[in-house]
Amino acid sequence: MRVVIAEDAAMMREGLVRLLTDRGFEVCAAVGDATALRTAIAASEPDVAIIDIRMPPTHTDEGLRAAIDIRRDHPAVGVLVFSQWVETRYATRLLADRPTGVGYLLKDRVADVADFVDALTRVASGGTALDPEVVGHLMRAGQETAGVASLTPRESEVLSLMAEGRSNAGIAAALVITPGVVEKHVANIFAKLGLPSSESDNRRVLAVLRHMLFTDRA
C-alpha cells in the first residue's frame, strides 16, 4: 500500500515513516506543508494520504483545506486526517459529498499502533475511520438539523455508533442489545430523517452524516 504523509513536526513525520515502513507500507513522500502535499499527491497518486490539519505558513487549517482539494481532484486517494484538533466546519466539508475513503483521528487518542494501521488500511480500501470524539463534535454541530430532535435517546446512541462506521452486530455488542432490536432502531432512524434504508454500512454512514451534518456547507 502506497502512502503520502503530510506532517509539519519533523519528529512525528519521521516516526510515521518508520512505523509504516516497518509494517510493509510504501511511503511515497513525507512532507511538511500543504503545497508539497499537493505536489506529492499529483506525482505519486498514492492509495492514501495521512494529513495533519495545521501546517505552514499560518498553522491554522492548511492541511484540512488541502485534504478537501485532494478528495475533489484525486477521488481514488483515501484521506486520513490525523491531528490534535477537531475543526468542525472543514470536517463537515471533508465528509460532505463522499464520506467513504476518509478518516479523522485525534493524535492523543490513538494508543494502539495496530488500531491506527487498521484505520489507515480501512480508509485506503474505501471505508471510514472516525474518532468517537470527532463524531460527537460533528453531531453537536448538527443538532438543529430537521428530524434529529425527534429521535429517542436510544436511537441517538445507535445513530452515533452508525456514524463511527459500526455494523449492526457492532452496535448490538456495544449497547448489549440484539441485532434485531438494532435493525428496528435503524429503520426508525431512517424513517424519522426521511432517508431510504440500505444494505451497505458505508451507505448508511453517508446518508446519516449527509443529512445531519452537511446541510450548511458555507
Mean local confidence (pLDDT), 6-30? 96
Average the pLDDT over each of 29-33, 43-47, 202-206, 210-214 and give the range with the smallest value. 210-214
Model confidence at 90: pLDDT above 80: no
Query: Domain boundaries in the chain?
Result: 2-130, 142-213
- What is the architecture, at CATH level 2, of domain 2-130? 3-Layer(aba) Sandwich (3.40)
Cβ neighbors of 72 (< 8 A, separation 6 or more) are none
Average the pLDDT over each of 29-33, 64-68, 149-153, 171-175 and give the range with the smallest value. 149-153
pLDDT of residue 187: 84
pLDDT of residue 209: 62
pLDDT of residue 13: 96
Average the pLDDT over each of 13-22, 53-62, 110-119, 192-201 and give the range with the smallest value. 192-201
Predicted TM-score (pTM) of this structure: 0.68
Handedness of CA 123, 47, 4, 217 (dihedral sign): negative
pLDDT of 31-69, one tens digit each? 999 999 999 999 999 999 999 998 988 888 899 889 999
Question: Taking phi first (over 0 means left), then psi (-120 to 50 degrees means alpha), and beta for anything else, what does residue 10 get?
Answer: alpha
Mean local confidence (pLDDT), 130-149? 65
**3-class secondary structure for the chain?**
CEEEEECCCHHHHHHHHHHHHHCCCEEEEEECCHHHHHHHHHHHCCCEEEECCCCCCCCCCHHHHHHHHHHHHCCCCEEEEEECCCCHHHHHHHHHCCCCCEEEEEHHHCCCHHHHHHHHHHHHCCCEEECHHHHHHHHHHCCCCCCHHHCCHHHHHHHHHHHCCCCHHHHHHHHCCCHHHHHHHHHHHHHHHCCCCCCCHHHHHHHHHHHHHCCCCC
Which is more confident, 18 or 134?
18
- pLDDT exceeding 90 applies to what percent of the chain? 50
Give the phi and the psi of residue 31 in degrees, each rounded to 5. -125, 165
pLDDT of residue 60: 85
pLDDT band of residue 92 (cuts 50, 70, 90) is confident
Model confidence at 74: pLDDT above 90: yes
Model confidence at 137: pLDDT above 50: yes
d(CA 151, CA 39): 45
Q: Which is nearest to 97 in space by CA: 128, 62, 72?
A: 72
For domain 142-213, the CATH class is mainly alpha
pLDDT of residue 214: 37
